Amino acid sequence: MAKGGFRGGFGGMNQANMMKQAQKMQQELAKMQAELESSTFTATAGGGAVKATVSGKRELTAIEIDPDAVDPEDVEMLQDMVIAAVNEAMRKVDEASNSSMSKITGMKGLPF
């Protein structure tokens, strides 16, 4: 064994400090989760013809369709616009979640 023995890989941080840091991070994560869940995210498609609103819980809460976008001859286009608006709103939830997580942890790209 090297002179001085094993001191751990945490730069001298003792276990009590690590526990305090973990508890603080856990509290911040819970606060961030509550804020995210109470938020709404809106996206549009087709130049605003379709508007989708999603909660931070990733639930579709509203969909608005401009009556001019309803063409019985082209239902597929309307379906595509709905899908695009919903998917973009869901991406906004993910971006907000990842941004909040990186602020707390100081890391990006965590799979939360």
In sequence order, what are the residues at sequence separation of 6 or more whose Cβ sits closer than 8 angstroms to the Cβ of residue 61? 40, 53, 54, 55
* Percent above pLDDT 90 for the chain: 53
With a cut of 50, say whether residue 1 has pLDDT above it: no
With a cut of 70, say whether residue 2 has pLDDT above it: no
Could you give the dihedral angle defined by the CA atoms of residues 89, 90, 95 and 100, in that order, rounded to the nearest 10 degrees?
110
For residue 7, the SS3 value is: coil
Output 13 or 110, whichever has higher pLDDT.
13
CATH of domain 40-112: 3.30.1310.10
Quick: pLDDT tens for 61-112.
Answer: 999 999 999 999 999 999 999 999 999 999 999 999 888 888 777 755 545 4
